[in-house]
Each structure stands twice: as structure tokens, then as C-alpha cells.
Amino acid sequence: MVRDADRTKKRLLEAAAVEFAALGIAGARVDRIAEAAGCNKAMIYAYFGNKDQLFDAVFTALVAATIEHVPFDAADLPGYAGRLFDRYEDDPATVRLATWYRLERPQGAPLQAIVTSNVGKLEKVARAQREGVLSDHYTPVELLTLVISVAGAWASVTPELGTNAPADRDRRRRTVVDAVRRLIARGLHEA
């Protein structure tokens, strides 16, 4: 039987995403990932190197999928925030993996996919500010940080507060979009 390397890598990445989302980098086990993928754990080392490199591959794939499914438009930051909110709601593993990444890699070497994505977004925000589409009340990094934080607010709220959150997804989404719209409008009025 001939091995299909691409299919095996895909199964490993999918199994690893589930394991890392649930347990983080430190808690994940390559033997469980290999078993869930129906592979020998030696394949992990052959294709990805080690567990940290496997996490990097999983997170890089997550970033690519998020970029594909959540197009960034500096001229429509409320819409971007809404689409990002949708991504978090539709795929909670996105939030979990990003949280584990921030917790377990606070000083680690940056992943190129994230650097490239952020640089592109920051350049677009800066251009929109220069063109007067967005206020320069906040620096590009401040504005992008606020937009991303608002988009992820419901996904990262503590369970104790979350029990009081609106059960209606549409209401939570409208709140995100409205908050970013007001943030931008306030910045334009104060500029």
C-alpha cells in the first residue's frame, strides 16, 4: 500500500489541532496525536520535527485559514470585527489555540505567518489613516489591537460573566460591530 504523505500530514495536523486546543503545547502528547490520526508517531517527527514544530505548523495553518475566511478591510473595521467574531463563534478552537500560543510562547520566536499578516494589516490601517478614511487618534497597532480585542471579547469572557452574556449570537455580533463603529467614530470626532 502506497502512503499518501499529504493525506497523512493533513490527518496529523487535524488531530494535533484538537489536542493542542484542548491541552496546550505542554499538555499535548504526540502519542495521542498519532493515535487520533491513525499514524505512527514517528511520522510526526518525520514530517514536522518535534512537538513544538508541529504546534507551529498547526498554528500557521490556523492563521492561513483565518486570513482566508476573515478578509481584512481597513476601510471597514466594524465588518472585519464582525467576521472575526463569526470565526471565533464558528470555530472555538481558533480562540483556544491562540490563547495557548500567547500563554506558552510569550517570548518565543515569532511565526512568520503571523508577522506577515500583522504587517499587512498595519500597513493598510496606516494607509487608511493617511488617506483620511480612519482617524489617526490611535496608532495603527493600537487600533488593530482594540478591534481584535473587541471581536474576541465574548470568546474570552470569564465563565462567571459569560453566564450573563446575551444568548443570542446575533446580538453579541451586533454589539461587537457597534463597539468598533463607535470606537472609530469617536476617533474621527476627536481628531
Q: Which CATH number fits domain 70-190: 3.50.30.30, 1.10.357.10, 1.10.260.40, 2.60.40.10?
A: 1.10.357.10
Taking the C-alpha atoms of residue 153 and residue 118, their distance in angstroms, rounded to an integer, is 19
- pLDDT score at 3: 63
Residues 6+ apart with CB under 8 A from 183: 146, 147, 150
Looking at residue 15, its pLDDT comes to 97
Nearest CA to 15 among 38, 45, 43? Answer: 38
Domain-wise residue ranges, the chain? 1-57, 70-190
pLDDT of residue 1: 44
Dihedral over alpha carbons 167, 173, 174, 178 (to 10 degrees):
130
How confident is the chain (191 residues) per 10-residue block, as mean pLDDT? 78 96 95 95 94 93 92 96 96 92 82 89 96 93 96 86 82 96 74 47
Q: Structure pTM?
A: 0.87
Domain 1-57 is classified in which CATH homologous superfamily? Homeodomain-like (1.10.10.60)
